[in-house]
Structure 1
Amino acid sequence: MNPRKPAVLFVCVKNGGKSQMAAGLMLKELTDQGRPDAVDISSAGTLPGKQINALSAEVLNEVGVDITGQRPTQLTEEAMLDAGHVVVLGAEAKVPELEGVTVERWITDEPSERGIEGRERMELVRDDIQRHVKELVARLA
């Protein structure tokens, strides 16, 4: 019997920053381990924006991750069921509880609460998400 390949769906409100960063960082982590296809990775937003956050893309590019070709996507129950494992980034996004779907929430560092804005804020957010991603890869792949 062939066990189902693990899948994860990253969710935030706009799907322009944190969830896209998490998806890109997870793909990079798996690729660095020589296993880019070990986990199906997707992302979505509860109220998707129009485009990728430029600063998110910029700070990811610094660590070898390119999300500039991605587009925000609407979260659907079908996508949640397909993945089976949903990671919600931050406290704002609300997702439905669905039978058979594991949901975990990452309360990520929010440097703006400490008065840190702009590029420095986004680098700290990236690094915190990367730490969470490494732990998730160790569990799933």
Structure 2
Amino acid sequence: MSTDTDSDDPTRIAFVCVQNAGRSQMSTAFAERERERRGLEDSLEILTGGTDPADEVHAGVIDAMAELEFDLSDRTPREVTTEELRSCDYVATMGCSTLELGDVDGVDVRDWALPDPDGGDPEEVREIRDEIERRVAALFDEFSDAP
């Protein structure tokens, strides 16, 4: 959680990849669900983006998430800036990021090193989706239990 002395500042989490059309979109959807489940709507901001965003979320990702009743069909990949990421408490990159955050005080940067679901068969996309779901829940466990 943020090390700021102002406890009113929300915790900020970012999920980032190059295209913002697959892994980071799935991560964001799972994080939004976790935020609601844990009653953190007022204390947690979620950011997603890519360094070179695609025009749309990958069709296979939309299909895999629809199986779990998530509708990503109306989401649009967006560009993320280094400045936005430096304002975060946690940044999860998906293994393909071209970000150069360096050592930024107060930002816990993690590279999840997940395979790209684009063009994968449905079973591969499901495996990536399920791993992302586990990692997002584990991340929430970490900061939800933080003092």
Task: Please classify the TM superposition score into its range, dividing by the shorter chain length.
Answer: 0.7 to 0.9
Identity over aligned residues, as a percent? 25
Give the Cα–Cα distance (whole angstroms) in 1 for the partners of residues 22 and 32 of structure 2.
16
Residue 81 (structure 1) aligns with: 86
For residues 81-102 of structure 1, give each alpha carbon's deviation from its aligned partner in whole angstroms, at most 9, with x where no partner exists: 2223211012x21211252332
RMSD, aligned α-carbons: 2.2
98, 122, 132: which one aligns with 1:94? 98
**TM-aligned CA distance change 1:14 to 1:111, over 3 Å:** closer
Task: Give the 5 Å matches for 1:61-76.
Answer: 61-76=66-81
**Cα drift, residue 123 of structure 1:** 0.6
**Cα drift, residue 37 of structure 1:** 4.1
Q: Give the 3-state SS of the residue equivalent to 2:87 in structure 1.
A: helix
Is 72-81 or 36-45 further displaced after alignment?
Answer: 36-45
Give the Cα–Cα distance (whole angstroms) in 1 for the partners of residues 43 and 81 of structure 2.
23
Is 95-104 or 56-65 further displaced after alignment?
Answer: 95-104
**TM-aligned CA distance change 1:83 to 1:57, over 3 Å:** same
**Cα drift, residue 65 of structure 1:** 2.0
Residue 44 (structure 1) aligns with: 49
Residue 121 (structure 1) aligns with: 124
111, 136, 139: which one aligns with 1:105? 111
Task: Give the 5 Å matches for 1:9-28.
Answer: 9-28=14-33
Give the Cα–Cα distance (whole angstroms) in 1 for the partners of residues 73 and 30 of structure 2.
13
**TM-aligned CA distance change 1:74 to 1:111, over 3 Å:** closer
Q: Give the 3-state SS of the residue equivalent to 2:15 in structure 1.
A: strand
Higher helix share: 1
Give the residue type in structure 2 aligned to 1:88.
T
For residues 67-86 of structure 1, give each alpha carbon's deviation from its aligned partner in whole angstroms, at most 9, with x where no partner exists: 22221111211211222321
**TM-aligned CA distance change 1:98 to 1:44, over 3 Å:** farther
Q: Give the 3-state SS of the residue equivalent to 2:27 in structure 1.
A: helix
2:60 aligned with 1:55: yes
Q: Report if aligned partners of 1:16, 1:51 keep a CA contact under 8 Å in 2.
A: yes
Please list every run of 5 or more consecutive structure 2 residues that lacks an aligned counterpart in the other structure: none
